[in-house]
Structure 1
Amino acid sequence: MKIDLTGKTAIVTGSTRGIGYAIAAGLAGAGATVVITGRKQADVDQALATLRGSIPGAQVRGVAADLSNAAGFTALQAAEPQADILVNNVGVFNLQPFAEIPDEEWTRMFEVNVMSGVRASRAYLPGMQHKNWGRIVFISSESGLAIPADMIHYGFSKTGNLAVSRGLAKSLAGTGITVNAVLPGPTLSDGVQHLVAPGADYATAEREANAFVKAHRASSIIQRVATPEEVANMVVYVCSPQASATTGAALRVDGGVVDTIG
């Protein structure tokens, strides 16, 4: 299967590093014009330089905006008014006992992890409807199905992604626009590296992350963390013309952590 996204513009939120960057690279490698976003201009510039260096001829540009609030989306849409593909990836997480999570942290988790995707989808959907073609992907998590006891607020927000993506897909029945959620499991993103082995090199972080999976996500079938690229492969497929019959789905790239046949 050859995925060709030439002529399509893709916006990937929160894409200066980790899973978001891997998705941006995958889409650029398939020929899409990719818009990278991040809060800091320096991070956006660095990601663009790295991507251009790794994919010669890549059509990429960037927007620095804080997508944790509505003003950030106003700035993003002013810079990039149209998109054929939208990947709602920006998100935050942290381990915290339930009794210690204050109201403002619940609100932050909801604003960044849920409302960012709502706002972006609302902004770019009209253009997709005009063309009767589009791809919207929410990056949820296996934590949205198997709520972790050590970060309930994060699991709650990722369940929210599933509700929004399924409902939005149903609202677009009969169109050429698909909406799906992709659910990574434990993945060796920059955030996870910092969590399990702050300041360590990649090999050490990978070893510590794999040990975390075996100890705390024992149902994992692959018994290791995934790479950001393994998650990105699913996203690139879902964004392709070949995935035209896949919509309203929750697609797991969780290494089998969620113990179900469904």
Structure 2
Amino acid sequence: MTAEKSPLSDATGGGWKCFIEQSDASQCKTANRPYLKATDNEAQIVYFIRPDCKTWGCEWCAEQRRKHWTFLATFGGDFLLRSGSELSFVTLTSHRKIRHLPSAIKVWRKAWPKLSARWRRATPGVQYLYIAEHRKRVHFHVHIITTATLPTRWYKDNAAETGLGYQAEAVRIGLAIECGGYVGKYLGKAIHVMGWPKYWRRVNTSRAWPKPELEEDPRDWLCLGPQTSRVRGSAMAYKRAGWRVETSLNALL
């Protein structure tokens, strides 16, 4: 079924502009971030941009990522609801005796493939977005937005049978904005938790979770590395040749 046009569909351009505004106002403090260069030979413009690190360990970037995922949750929820799908919030927990984060994640990595296989059999074509949460005095939790409409009892029984905790809950979603609020809330709660293992993804989605279509950047970007002196020298050379040098992402609009 094709979804009717969502008001959020027009946010693609707005989202790009918002990204540019945030990047130009960036407060990322991570050292050794590389510079990128692109050229417009016809207009004789050269761009030198230094992207944010986009890591959860950076206070500025963590907050921008939280906002990014809040938007994607709202966009996806809106698209799915308009397509006729039903949505639910689902909370899964680790076993009540496991409080150590590495142990909880080890159990999750074994249990999730088993549980998700049962899930897909029970709800073919299921779509989801989930967030992992862990805080002091709080068990490892996973919060899910999903098109599955299974009852709480199904999650309790199947989670326990696959190695997770018996505590689970499923609640129906009525509005897309609830999806964004849900994601923003739980990412915010765990935003300063730094004990996650390397390469752990705090947010995961199914392959077909709806995302806005982004226009491809026609420019070819070259990574110059983190050396400011190299960038300064290159910029001066372009200026001497009569080129315009841009260091603001607003110039790309």
TM over 0.5: no
Q: Which has the higher contact order (CA 8 A, sep 6+)?
A: 2
Q: TM-score range by the shorter chain?
A: under 0.3
Higher helix share: 1
